[in-house]
Homo-oligomer: A and B are copies of this chain.
Amino acid sequence: MGKNLNDIKKPIFYFSSTLTEGNRNMRDILGSKGANLAEMTSIGLPVPPGFTITTTTCAEFYATGQKLSRGLINDIHKYIGRLERDTGKHFGSNSNPLLLSVRSGAAVSMPGMMDTVLNLGLNDQSLQGLEQATGNRRFALDAYRRLINMFGDVVMGIDHHHFEAELDRIKKRHRAKQDTDLNVNGLKAVIDAYKQIYKKHTRQDFPQDPYEQLQKAVEAVFHSWNIPRAIAYRRINDIRGLLGTAVNIQTMVFGNMGNDSGTGVAFTRDPTSGENVLYGEFLINAQGEDVVAGIRTPEPVLKIKAWRPDIYRQLLATKQLLEKHYKDMQDVEFTIEQGKLFILQTRTGKRTGNAAVKIAVDMVRERLITRKTALMRVPPNDLNQLLLPSFIDKAKGNVLTKGLPASPGAASGYPVFTADEAVEKKEKGTKVILVRKETSPEDIHGMDAAEGILTSTGGTTSHAAVVARGWGKCCITGAADIIIDEANRTLRINGTLIRGSDVISIDGSTGEVMLGDIPRKRPGFSKEFYTLMQWADKTRKLEIRTNADTPADARVARRFGAAGIGLCRTEHMFFGEKRILAMREMILADNTTARRKALKKLLPYQRRDFEGIFTAMKDLPVTVRLIDPPLHEFLPQEITTQQRVAKDLGLSLDYIQRRVDQLHEINPMLGHRGCRLTVTYPEILEMQVRAIVEAAINCRRRHINAMPEIMIPLIGVDKELSMLRELVLRTITAVKAEKQYDGKLAIPIGTMIEIPRAALTADEIAVHADFFSFGTNDLTQMTLGYSRDDIGSFLPEYLDKQILPHNPFQTIDMIGVGQLVDMAVTKGRSVKEKLKCGICGEHGGDPDSITFFASVNLDYVSCSPFRVPVARLAAAQAVLKNQLDLFI
Q: Which of B680, B760, B781, B793 contacts A820 (CB 8 A)?
A: B760
Given contacts A667-B670, A790-B667, contact A783 B756 (CB under 8 A): yes
Question: Interface extent on A, as a size class?
Answer: 35 or more
The segment out of A141-149, A552-560, A644-652, A811-819 that lies at the interface is: A811-819
Q: Given A667-B670, A672-B794, A761-B816, check contact A719 B787 (CB 8 Å).
A: no
Asked if A786 CB lies within 8 Å of chain B CBs, one says: yes
Among A487-495, A798-806, A875-883, the stretch that binds chain B is A798-806
**Is the Cβ of A720 less than 8 Å from the Cβ of B803?**
yes
Beta-carbon contact of B668 and A794 below 8 Å = no
Q: Are A665 and B787 in contact (CB under 8 A)?
A: yes
Specify which chain B residues have a CB less than 8 angstroms from the CB of A680 in the assembled complex: 793-794, 797
CB of A786 within 8 A of CB of B670, answer yes
Tell me the bound Cα distance from A782 to B88 in angstroms.
72
A302 is an interface residue with CB less than 8 A from chain B: no
Q: Is the CB of B803 within 8 A of A783?
A: no
Residues of B within 8 A of A665 (CB): 787, 789-790, 793
Q: Distance (Å) between the CB of A7 and the closest chain B CB?
A: 32
> Which residues of A (734-780) have their CB < 8 Å from a CB of B?
754-757, 760-761, 764, 778
CA distance A820 to B761 in the complex (A): 11
Contact, CB under 8 Å: A794 / B760: no
User: A639-672 CB contact bits vs B (8 Å, 1 = yes)?
Assistant: 0000000000000000000000000011111111
Q: How many copies of this chain are found per oligomer? A: 2
Among B671, B778, B816, B817, the residue within 8 A (CB) of A787 is B671
Report how far A756 CA is from B819 CA in the complex, Å: 11
Contacts of A671 in B (CB 8 A): 787, 790, 793
Given A755-B784, A815-B760, A666-B790 contact (CB < 8 Å): yes
Check: A449 CB closer than 8 A to any chain B CB. Answer: no
Residues of B within 8 A of A804 (CB): 717, 719
Quick check: B757 and A801 within 8 Å, CB to CB? no
A665 — nearest CB in chain B belongs to which residue? B790
Find A757's partner among B670, B778, B813 (CB 8 Å cutoff).
Answer: B813
Q: Inside 8 A of A669's CB, which chain B residues have their CB? A: 666-667, 669-670, 785, 787
A717 to B803: give the CA distance in the assembly, Å. Answer: 7
Closest to A819 in B: B760
Q: Is the beta-carbon distance between A784 and B802 smaller than 8 angstroms? A: no
User: Is A133 engaged at the interface, CB distance under 8 Å to the other chain?
Assistant: no
Question: Which residues of B have CB within 8 Å of A760?
Answer: 783, 815-816, 819-820
Any B CB within 8 A of the CB of A714: yes
Q: Are B679's CB and A798's CB within 8 A?
A: yes
> Given A781-B670, A790-B670, are A757 and B679 neighbors across the interface (CB < 8 Å)?
no
Q: Which B residues are CB-close (under 8 A) to A813? A: 757
Q: Which of A655-705 contact B (CB under 8 A)?
A: 665-672, 676, 679-680
CA gap between A719 and B797 in the complex, in Å: 13
Nearest B-chain residue to A662, judged by Cβ: B793
Query: CB-nearest residue of chain B relative to A803?
Result: B719
Give A797 to B798 CA distance when docked, in angstroms: 40
Within 8 A of B (CB), among A810-835: 813, 815-817, 819-820
**Is there contact, CB below 8 Å, between A679 and B797?**
yes
A530 to B667, CA, bound (A): 44
B756 touches A801 (CB 8 A): no
Contacts of A714 in B (CB 8 A): 785
Q: Which residues of A contact B (CB under 8 A)?
A: 665-672, 676, 679-680, 714, 716-717, 719-720, 723, 754-757, 760-761, 764, 778, 781-787, 789-790, 793-794, 797-798, 801-804, 813, 815-817, 819-820
Interface pairs (7), CB distance under 8 Å: A665-B789, A668-B787, A679-B798, A679-B803, A716-B784, A717-B784, A761-B815
> Apart from A671-B790, A672-B794, A755-B784, what are 13 other A-B pairs with CB-CB below 8 Å?
A665-B793, A667-B669, A670-B786, A670-B787, A679-B803, A716-B816, A717-B803, A719-B804, A756-B756, A757-B783, A757-B785, A764-B815, A782-B782
